Amino acid sequence: MSIINEGLVASFVLLIVVVAEGLIALFVARAGKYVPKIRRIPGLEAIEEAVGRATEMGRPIAYTTGLGGIRDQWYYQTIAGLNILGYTA
């Protein structure tokens, strides 16, 4: 019985490379040498504009969280929809 599985060596090396790159990027950003710019998402800006316009007009907003509920295969879409609702509220 071998400790090293020959079929998983490439996956392990890839894992080590990805983790090392992530740690290097983290340390460089914390040192302040390079901080990447995070751009705004145009869709979220459009939501803010639409909510503001509806408020000015005195109109209600129809909102849906997605296709499913909390206990089905669309769980992640529903949670993402609730996060956006919390952002706009």
Closest-CA residue to 33 (of 22, 44, 24, 42): 24
Asked if the model's pLDDT at residue 10 lies above 60, the reply is yes
- What pLDDT, on the 0 to 100 scale, is given for residue 1? 53
Can you give the residue ranges of every domain in the chain? 1-38, 40-89
- What pLDDT, on the 0 to 100 scale, is given for residue 71? 78
State the Cα angle at 73 between 71 and 76, rounded to 5°. 85
Tokens 């390079």 map to which residue?
34
- Highest average pLDDT, of 1-10, 24-33, 62-71, comes from 24-33
- What pLDDT, on the 0 to 100 scale, is given for residue 85? 80
Q: How far apart are CA 47 and CA 81, in angstroms?
A: 12
Tokens read off for 66: 């997605």
Tokens read off for 27: 């340390």
pLDDT in tens, 13-66: 999 999 999 999 999 989 988 877 889 889 888 888 888 898 899 998 888 776
Q: How far apart are CA 36 and CA 40, in angstroms?
A: 13
